[in-house]
Amino acid sequence: MSIPLLREQVIEALDRSSSIPLKDKISILQTFASTLKEPVTIEQSREILSIAPLGLFYYGFSMEDENLTNVLCEIISKILGPFNYRDINSNENKSFLLEGLTHYNPQIRLLSIQQVNSETFMHVITTLSFQDTKPAQKASELLYKITLTHQDAIFSPTACSIIKQLLRVSETVKFRIYDLVIKVASSSNHAFELCESTGLLHEFINELRSNDLLVKMNAIELLNEIAATPSGIIFLERANLVDDMSAILDNEDEDDVVVCLVKCSIIKFIGNLGENKQVPFQQLSNQYGILNRLETCLDSKNDQILTVTISSIGLIGSHLLGLILVWPLSSKLCELYPSTVGSVKAVLLQTLSKLIGVRDEPVNESDRLTLQIFNEFDGFPNKIIREAKQPEDDIRIASLALMQSIAYHTWGIKYMAQSSVFMQYLLDRTTDRIQQGQMWKYTIIQTIVSHPNSKEILEVDDYNQCQTYIKQGPFYKPLETTVAFESIKAIHQFLNKIKYQTEIKHSSRYLSQYGVLQKRSLAGTGASATVKVIQDHRRNIYAVKVFHKNINKDKLLKKKLMSEYCISSVLNHPNIINTVDLVIDNKHRYCIVMEYCSGGDLYSWIKEGKLVHLKDINNLFKQLLQGLSYLHNLGVAHRDIKPENLLIQPTNRRHYQLKITDFGEADVFRELWQAEGRLSDGVCGSIPYMAPEVFSQMSYNASQADVWSAAIVYSCMRLNGVPFFCAKETDPNFRLYQAQYTKRRYPAFDILDKDSQDMLYDMLNPNPEKRFTIQDVLKLTWVANV
């Protein structure tokens, strides 16, 4: 068959509308591949590409046939062989190259990696030696990702030669390379064998045998990853490293700081080995006397060595196989407990919580060993409650963790049920004022109630109280009746004072002093009030929030009215509505008088399509952030941020001022003299703008809920609608958002610029603790420049 005819058949076979059977297509392409004798000249390649564009060959990958993919990769590789990287990275081929580098098929990705060529790949390797950490780190990450799918790339003779030269640049570069090599070697057994065959692992071994103890210590830190693989364990034994490191534990010169640090590194390494269930730790321990040496370390007078030894015993004993091994050491741990203080005591309690928390199969064996350790500890309930009340956070939290470990077991719940002192402590919410401690107690009670036998074991009252505790959430605060009564009483007295002043003709308490309500002036309406417009004789215009008359019969509504007025009347900021007065109208309705904004609310602007320019949108949004920043600095959360509560006041042509209004749901979460704020309660706000934690029926950080609402408002301004209707699992769009959050690929945000997307994802983090604060948003470069 002539070459021209064969090329015509190739074009026909790859044509999208071709009816040629797949088997025949593969045959034609295999014949064509065999005619391309390597090395293909650049003239041949250009001639082929002039009649058969590269896209034609790449289209064949969409058929997802292994044989077709293999032959296409062979053809493309031969055709592109003569071209340099600059040609391959041209606009014509760049999209194919990027697609190939991210393709799931290993052959297609290999093809693209080969196209990148040594010219670029070797530059990536040499970037590991950069003095600046950022580019070096990026190069390391890229090389690691490449080796996950194409392990031979970094192990070619040229690449290995360059890497070995870089080892001599500096200590920093050397350990940067070792870090990469260890990661690669730990990724699979095949990768480990490749690393070993290049000699790079043996270079690393020399560092472990260095006379410089600090170098040795850094090398030991890197060993943790490699020891997690079966090949790694074999290699460690073959290189006699376990024996060498175990012997260092016999060094009694603990006054030498470096010796102490190296011993601690080795003990940590041993702990990580023992924690890994895949490692034959019992065999290693028997062979090298590891546990005997750890027992000797428990007698150390050096707190650092003692602490890390106790911690490593906890890691080894965190599963049943390890617990069986370290169980003989548990009595020594319990003997140490009375004499420990500070961080040593905290770590000892953490280790006991790990050992007692084991519940692997067979359960009867786990229960037997954990109960014996519990009895040896002999600190329930008095000792453990005493430690849980300590001012030191580490000891208190470790004690609570130990309580939870006890609650995992049937025997543990029985001990708890028999102790009225313990149950009283656990159910008393006043014993822990710190949020972390409150969360731990809540988790302990959840663990108890979720045990299948808890209802039968606990007293009826205790069980019911536990159920109530869970329903109320971890941060529930019982209402203080006296304070609440006094608060409502004070509000009642204040409002009666206003009413009395109107009855004795105090004109200063009548709405009429501000003029006459304008006819047909309804500016807004809500569940408890309507907003109207009033104008005085000087033609000053005010907005008036007129509360419904039946508010007099509802104490909670009265409290809400007073709260709104007291909060809003003391605020003074350009982006907060100015509250003027609280008065009564001629129908004896309470009225809050406010400044009037002629521009209407933001909701109307969005609905009417007035927000055309991105500059205007960003300007209004920054004003919203500045208003919220002012509120949060004062310890006030709005809790109902939405476009309807954001008013716009035109200042001059093309300039507008945004003002936050309606403080009916506002909450003071921190008084000015307080360093720490409190959590808020209650579901409030408008559903599309409410943060997910507000729906949870638990206490929440109200200022962080404001951040979420502000982000939804910005989405509305940019997208002319909310990104999802409700931040609950029942909303399919919110479920999609959660699923795509870590990848940051929510479809609704794809049309936005990168800066806006990043900001929205940071403000709409489902975890309020990791969510941006208002100050974080204001610090963004592009926001600061608005």
Q: Active-site residues: which are they?
A: 640
Query: How, if at all, do strands 529-535 and 524-525 pair?
Result: antiparallel
DSSP string, 242-259: HHHHHHHTT---TTSHHH
Contact by Cβ (8 Å): 564, 664: yes
The CA distance from 236 to 222, in Å, is 13
Kindly state the tokens that stand for 716: 């509305």
Q: Which residue has the tokens 């907003």?
A: 531
Express the helix, strand and coil content of the chain in percent, nearest 5 each.
65, 5, 30
Which backbone phi and psi does 433 adopt, to 5 degrees?
-95, -10
Pull the structure tokens for residue 714: 């910005």
Dist. CA 550–CA 560, nearest whole Å = 14
Q: Is 67 helix (H, G, I), strand (E, B) or coil?
A: helix
Token pair recorded at residue 745: 């690929």
Best CA proximity match to 245, nearest among 271, 266, 226? 266
Burial 168-182 (b: 16+ CB within 10 A, else e): eeeeebbbbbbbbbb
Helices and strands per DSSP (H, E), number in the chain: 39, 10
Q: How far is CA 512 from the centre of its chain?
A: 55
How many Cα atoms occupy the beta-carbon half-sphere of 561 within 13 Å? 32
Tracing tokens 């321990």 back to the chain, one arrives at 285
Q: What is the CA radius of gyration of the chain?
A: 35
Cα–Cα distance between 354 and 318 in angstroms, integer? 5
CB-count burial class (<10 Å; 0-12, 13-18, 19+) for 726: middle
Give the helix ranges, DSSP H, for 170-253.
171-187, 189-198, 200-208, 213-226, 230-238, 241-248
Crossing angle (nearest 10°) for helices 230-238 and 213-226? 140
Beta bridge partners of 580: none
Distance CA 727, CA 161 (A): 55
Is there a contact between 234 and 283 (Cβ–Cβ < 8 Å)?
Answer: no
Q: Is the bond preceding 106 in cis, omega lying within 30 degrees of 0? A: no
Pairwise CA distance, residues 283 & 417, whole Å = 41
Q: How far apart are CA 495 and CA 674, in angstroms?
A: 29
C-beta separation of 422 from 411 below 8 A: no
